[in-house]
Amino acid sequence: MEGNEDILDFEIINSIGQQVYKGKIKNKTVIQTADFVPGVYLIKIKNGKNYLLKKIIKE
């Protein structure tokens, strides 16, 4: 959500729909994924009633 200055909630979901990580982000945030199993994940960023989904591929 470009240009956003608020602190946003996010969660990372694996390919079978399980939440594997959650937290809060502001601007650019680095999320450590070293412990994640290789595969496809979704990151869901929430801003009030709106949310943004993006795909993450962990190799």
User: Token pair for residue 44?
Assistant: 């869901």
Mean pLDDT computed over every residue of the chain: 88
pLDDT tops 70 at residue 19: yes
Average pLDDT, integer, range 20-49: 90
For residues 18 and 29, which has the higher predicted lDDT (pLDDT)?
18
pTM of the model: 0.81
Residue 52: closest CA among 42, 40, 41, 38 = 42
Strands (E) in 1-59, as ranges, are: 8-13, 19-25, 39-47, 50-58
Percentage of residues of the chain with pLDDT beyond 90: 61
